[in-house]
Structure 1
Amino acid sequence: MSVRAGHGWQTSLADLSLILFIVTAATVSRQPQVPALPSRAAAAPSPQTEPLSVYVAAPDAPPLADWLREQAADPRQQLTITAHYGSDAGAQARALAQATRLLAQAGAQGQAARMVVEPGEGPVRAVLAYDAPRVGESGE
């Protein structure tokens, strides 16, 4: 009987590779199925990006309509109006009223906007950014 010494390590390596493949395949086959994500446009608003331009509704600020006319029109941009409210009684209603007033001014300029009213401090802000959801965008 003749033994060829040059092929022993290659056979062992091939056997180990085959074992590793079988163990990996068995592990992957037992993974739970993750459900497909729904379309991003249907599930949630697009993520917010860096602002291009910010309007702060200060007492001496020009009307939002004037500020919007000065901005370059781009269908990829989204106007987001954010109002903050404190813990005192009626603060949330006042913040909502301020944001609604700016939303009406934006609508008069033909600009659709999303509105966010959240706890916190600070004036009402309007931000233009490339946040507009793309048609047919999906999260899959």
Structure 2
Amino acid sequence: MTLSAAHPRGGHGWQLILADLALILFLLALSALPAAEAESGRRLADTEARERDALGMLHAEVAPAQALFRPIPGGPSLGAWLAAQGPDPRATLTIFAVHTRGSEAAAWRRARALAAEARASGVAVRAIITAGMHEEVYASLAYDAVIAEVAS
């Protein structure tokens, strides 16, 4: 048995080194991503906080729904439903109106009608109107936390 038979020459040495270097470069780039994303997120949050501070604004965080209202034929009106929930000054009613292309005005009218009914009940109201695959209007009653940004 000769040395060449035990170790065939294939010329794979430089290819393995190149593959190792490529893998090392990939792992280094991958490990740097979370730090870069965190830094860009901090810069964006700092910019938004400065803008809010400059305007003297507060923003609300949309909390998970405590109760959900969907208008159905023969069901209670929004005003009757809100009365059954019990008055709470901490609660905010968010009206969600989802519309398809071309039905933006109709979604706005439905959301505005529900908002007027809710305001008559004395509840804080906001409306969120978005595009979607189907039309839908519903309301979410939640205890949103108002967050005041503190300048640092």
Q: CA deviation at 1:133?
A: 2.2
Amino acid at match of 2:106: R
Residues 123, 139 of structure 1: alpha-carbon distance in 2 compared, 3 angstrom cutoff: farther
Give 1:112 deviation, angstroms.
2.2
Provide the C-alpha distance between the structure 2 equivalents of 1:105 and 1:46, rounded to a whole number of angstroms.
22
Post-superposition CA distance 1:35-76 (Å, at most 9, x none): 663349716x41211110000122332100000001132222
**Partner SS for 1:69:** helix
Partner of 1:98: 110
Query: How far apart in 2 are the matches of 1:41 and 1:53?
Result: 31
Unaligned runs of 5+ in 1: 1-31
1:138 to 136, 142, 149: 149
> Secondary structure of the equivalent of 2:140?
strand
SS of equivalent to 2:117: helix
Q: Larger helix proportion, structure 1 or 2?
A: 2
Segments of 4+ moved more than 6 angstroms: none
What is the number of residues matched between the two proteins? 103
TM-score normalized by structure 2? 0.58
Alignment gaps of 5+ in structure 2: 1-42
TM-score by length of 1: 0.63
Which of 124, 130, 140 aligns to 2:137? It is 124
Question: Identity over aligned residues, as a percent?
Answer: 31
CA distance in 1, matches of 2:125, 2:61: 14
Secondary structure at the residue paired with 2:93? strand
CA distances 1:18-43 after superposition (whole Å, capped 9, x unpaired): xxxxxxxxxxxxxx9x6663349716
